A and B are shown apart, each in its own frame.
Chain A
Amino acid sequence: MEIKADDFVDITDVVCPITFVKAKVAIEELEDGQILEVRMNEGEPIQNVPRSFKDEGHKVLNVINNEDGTFTVFVEKGGLEG
């Protein structure tokens, strides 16, 4: 299923904890229900950033392994709330 993102952020250029900080800055710009596409590195970012999104009430819709050491994660803002 193709997911259409409303915004995109690349957090492969920063390390923990700035990874989630940068992702969080991007998602706070969106409205509830909108979708953010996040490109992140394997390892610590892919282990922690999706979980942090869930903790804050956002829904992780899909995780795609790009097979180049990065992952693309689609997150719906506020998707776990209400």
Chain B
Amino acid sequence: MSFSNEQLERYSRHIILKEVGVKGQKKLLNSKVLIIGTGGLGAPAAMFLAAAGVGNIGLVDFDAVELSNLQRQIIHLTRDVGKPKVISGMETINEMNPDVEVTTYKEWVSSENISDIIKDKDYDFIIDGTDNFPAKFLINDACVLTQKPFSHAGIIRFQGQTMTYVPGQGPCYRCVFLNPPPPDAVPTCKQAGVLGVMGGIIGTIQATEAIKYILGVGELLTGQLLTYDSLKMEFRKIKLPHNKNCQVCGENPTIKTLIDYEQAVCELKQS
């Protein structure tokens, strides 16, 4: 594959970088990233990955765009209200960068479908842009069992956190957090609120991790949880060890099949 003049110009600021270059940009164009959740985190992550020329982007979300999403989910526009988020997201990406092929999965991830979705295009990297604990543990376990790297993140109010899992390199999400909290023990961002930019900051860090993983440059947030407090304007990196007794990635794992945890009642759809 050789670049067209348009591609040289589009990606010139990347190609100039020593750490990217022609080879790196080709890696990006040949890469496949799955984004689960096209909301506060997934929207900016998808947009920057598309702009960067990640050649295949998968979008997973069952929801339709709501007016209350637009304060932070910048891939969706006012005219998209009512449209499936994966379609709205695909349309924005298509307009932004014709080099990107988008695959849409209009479904919620569950133990039934997540492995098939990951295997569908044999994605290189997965971004967890979901807003609930059952999905976060499901994505973690699915990535551990299929040996796929992924970026975890969560945002609420003025706070955010993110860490990166790479098979064999440091802890998984379950090494650190063991099990989901009881349903309704922790407020969701629907109940607690979230500053719109939080998804932009943390989701863009997730996109950065995906790009660095694909390029094979720099240091990832493996074995480290990055937390961000936007009120104090404070970033912290907390070192986290691998747990050899982890239920899913430890020496004697007890979790060998995927689990559907109970979702908080207030999050269940009323339809």
Number of A residues with CB within 8 Å of any CB on chain B = 11
Closest chain-B Cβ to A24's Cβ sits at a distance in Å of: 6
* Interface pair A21/B18, CB less than 8 Å apart: no
Map CB proximity to B onto A1-42 as digits: 1 under 8 Å, 0 otherwise.
000000000000000011011101100100000000000000
SS class, residues of chain A in contact with chain B: helix
Number of B residues with CB within 8 Å of any CB on chain A = 11
CB within 8 Å for A21 and B23 given contacts A55-B18, A56-B18: no
A-B contact count (CB 8 A): 27
* Interface pair A18/B9, CB less than 8 Å apart: yes
Q: Which of chain B's residues have a CB closer than 8 A to the CB of A18?
A: 8-9, 12
* Interface pair A25/B18, CB less than 8 Å apart: no
**B79 near A: Cβ within 8 Å?**
no
CB within 8 Å for A17 and B13 given contacts A25-B3, A25-B8, A55-B18: yes
Q: Which of chain A's residues have a CB closer than 8 A to the CB of B13?
A: 17
* Interface pair A24/B9, CB less than 8 Å apart: no
**B268 near A: Cβ within 8 Å?**
no
Closest chain-B Cβ to A75's Cβ sits at a distance in Å of: 15
* Interface pair B16/A20, CB less than 8 Å apart: yes
* Interface pair B21/A22, CB less than 8 Å apart: no
Extra inter-chain contacts (11) besides given A21-B9, A21-B16, A25-B3, CB under 8 Å: A17-B12, A17-B13, A17-B16, A18-B8, A18-B9, A20-B16, A24-B16, A24-B22, A25-B8, A28-B22, A52-B16
Shortest Cβ-Cβ A-B pairs, 3 listed: A28-B22, A21-B12, A21-B15
16 CB contacts below 8 A, A to B, read A17-B12, A17-B13, A17-B16, A18-B8, A18-B12, A20-B16, A21-B12, A21-B16, A24-B15, A24-B21, A25-B15, A25-B22, A28-B22, A52-B16, A55-B18, A56-B18
